[in-house]
Amino acid sequence: MARHPSQHRSRARVERILVAAAGLLSETDAEKITVRTLAARSGVSVGTIYQFFEDVDGVRSIVAERARGDLRSVLEAECTEAVARASPGCFFSELIDVIGGVQRRHPLIGCLVHIDRSDGFRGAFASELRDYVAGHIHGVFARAFPKMDARDRARKLKVALGALLGALDAIPPRDDPRRLPHLSETKDLVALYANAAFASKERNDVVRTKKTKKR
């Protein structure tokens, strides 16, 4: 950022610029966004944008960092080891809600929901977010189910995560009446698989351990 806003009016202008940029980034290729289009969308002058940002890339970086930071903090707070251990299905249901909530606050996250595989900024950002979400899930389940074979656990998570991302990629728009039923079905199906793959496996391990001790 070229200059940090100190007055309330300046901070409000910067916020308008960032909100406008977030909307544009969710709608079009980042490489097509110019200072003029951003100025028109935010309702400020081109000079005002340059007053606080060096270029469009600077605006884009801050928008991405906001979305990235929000997703990480909410995942760490809500999608935890305790939730996964108590109910793997609830963990994935909570994950869907978390992603949806972050998308409402940061439209750019839509590149993860409707998976963007382009070679531009959004494609790279979507790939980064997918890798982070997958890494978070693998870490949580490794701690929640430490006795499960690592390769078996990774395979089951790959299936669950693939089904989740595939369903989110096909989710109808927000104003489509099919959206909520689609989300509900996605939660039910992924939760059913996760509980069958992890919760039942954990119970079977406990049963086998008890039988071995009795012998």
User: pLDDT by residue (tens digit) across 138-181?
Assistant: 999 999 999 999 999 999 999 999 888 888 888 888 888 998 89
pTM for this one?
Answer: 0.83
Q: Give every CB contact of residue 32 below 8 A, 6+ residues apart in sequence.
A: none
CA-to-CA separations, 127 to 115, 124, 203, in angstroms, rounded: 9, 5, 35
Which residue type, as a one-letter code, is found at position 105?
R
**Do 129 and 71 meet the contact criterion of CB atoms below 8 Å apart?**
yes
Dist CA 103 CA 171 (whole Å):
13
pLDDT of 108-123, one tens digit each?
A: 998 888 888 888 898 9
